Every structure is written in structure tokens, then in C-alpha cells.
Amino acid sequence: MSLVVFTGAIGLVIAEGSLHPFLAVVALLCIALGAGAAGCINMWYERDLDALMHRTWHRPLPTGRIAATSALEFGTTLAIASVMMMGVAVNWMAAGLLTLAIAFYVFVYTVWLKRRTPWNIVIGGAAGAFPPVIGEAAVTGSVSAASIALFAIIFMWTPPHFWSLALYRSDDYRRAGIPMLPVTAGAGATRWQILAYSVSMIPVSMIPWIIGSAGALYGAGAAILSVIFTCGAIAILVRRNEASARWMFRYSILYLALIFALLGIDHGVHWS
């Protein structure tokens, strides 16, 4: 949730144009409510799987602290409220993109992909890549190459991020019958996939600099961070232990946060 709101905020910051500070806060609130709605409905739909996994069994639905019907009603209400508020207070382009993000996460990722294919994270990762696009649309009412580049960064980042987690939580996914890549293809194949995606992050992270939407400060910082990201993937492949996978998962969170922080700082330096 923190990364969702933060990447959405950076989309707002780097957009060409301006938005009243109050409306900017409203837009971020709508993004947060929409993400919360999608997560709530996801946990309602997957409450049977969550009960089987050590990582999730203590959530409110598996433990019975919240009734399933109440969770579905709450998630649906949040979804409708977030979209309507975005449309009425900000603009309907941003509201439409928010609707698409929620629907993609719920229906494409949660309902269609997650229980059926090991590529669930690859395709489903698009849902988490929408916030910066929504943020820019809140300011401009449109979508540009700059926000599509940010979408691509998050989209390519998602598989190595979640596969690193899946490597040391594979028993959980196996017990729940979720076809994550380590379960279906094995740890070895997963490590190679993590490396492939991590290497691809080097050119993908440089796209904002290449197309001129970010400057040299961002370009240099993104290159360094992405090389470290790739080194983490190499460590997973070579060491083949839980510690390296845990490090990669934690660094991946920091990596994305720093990439987007660099975008914001670079933008501020440029305008100064």
C-alpha cells in the first residue's frame, strides 16, 4: 500500500501541469481507497487459501474476526466510492484508469490467473503498475510516454520481487495449491527467471532518462540501483539459500521506492 500511494504521488509530481494541492490529496486518497478495495476483495475471495498459509492464516477473514459478507460489502463500497470521488473531484480519465486497475486486480489476477497459472504474477503485475499512470492522469487528464515508462518499470519489477518471496515461502504456496513458479517449475528455474527479469530492469529503469522525462541524476542513480538489483539475483542463483532470497525480496521493496524517489528528486532539481 505504501508503494502504491508513493508511486501514485510521483506520477502526480512529474506530470506536466499542476493540480490544486487539495485535489492532489484527494487523488492520492482515491488511489489508496482503490488499492484497499482491491486488496479487501482479494482477501475475501482467497480466504480459503489464506487459511492454509503460514504467512496469511492470521488475517481477519481466516480467523473469523470479520465476516466474509461484511468484507465483500466493504471492499465493493470502497471501490465504488474511490472511483466516484476521483471522477467527480478530479477527472474521469483518472477515474477510468482507477476502475481498470481495480477490475484487473480482482478479476484478471485474483479470479482468473492466481489459481491457474505460474505466470499469474507476470500478467497480474500490471494491476500494481497503474498508480503512477493514474497520478499523471489526475493532473493532465491523459496518459503520456513518461507514465507508460513508469508503468513498465513496476510491471517488470513485480515478477522478481514476488518470486524472491515465493522461493522461501514455496511450502506455503504448495500447501495452498497456488501454482507459483517455484512450485510448478522448481527453485532452479525460478532463480534463472529472477535473474533474467533483474537484468532487464537495467534498460527498463533507464527509459525515463532515455526519453527525456528524467535527467542525468535519475539516470545515474537508476543504473546503480539496478546493477545492485541484478547482483542480488546473481547471489540467489549462486548461493541457492533462503538468506539470499530474503535479501532480494527486501531490497526489491527499497529498490522501487528509491527509483521513484529519484524521479521526484530529479524533477525537483530540474525545475529549480
Cα distances (Å, whole numbers) of residue 113 to 21, 58, 154, 168: 38, 24, 19, 21
pLDDT at residue 126, rounded to an integer: 93
Q: Report domain 1-143's class.
A: mainly alpha
- pLDDT tens-digit readout, 64-85: 999 999 999 999 999 999 999 9
Each residue's pLDDT expressed in tens, for the chain with a length of 272 residues: 899 999 999 999 999 988 999 999 999 999 999 999 999 999 999 999 999 999 899 999 999 999 999 999 999 999 999 999 999 999 999 999 999 999 999 999 999 999 999 999 999 989 999 999 999 999 999 999 999 999 999 999 999 999 999 999 999 999 999 999 999 999 999 999 999 999 999 999 999 999 999 999 999 999 999 999 999 999 999 999 999 999 999 999 999 999 999 999 999 887 66
pLDDT at residue 269, rounded to an integer: 83
pLDDT at residue 122, rounded to an integer: 93
**Residues 147 and 136 sit within 8 Å (Cβ to Cβ):** yes
pLDDT at residue 268, rounded to an integer: 85
Given CATH 3.30.70, say whether it is the number of domain 144-272. Answer: no
The structural domains of the chain, with segments of one domain joined by +, span 1-143, 144-272
pLDDT at residue 271, rounded to an integer: 65
Category of 75 on φ-ψ map: left (φ > 0), alpha (ψ -120 to 50) or beta: alpha
130: number of Cβ within 10 Å: 29
Helical spans, DSSP H, in the chain: 2-14, 21-45, 47-50, 68-89, 92-103, 120-124, 131-140, 145-168, 170-176, 181-184, 187-205, 207-210, 216-239, 242-271
pTM assigned to the model: 0.95
- Taking the C-alpha atoms of residue 67 and residue 47, their distance in angstroms, rounded to an integer, is 11
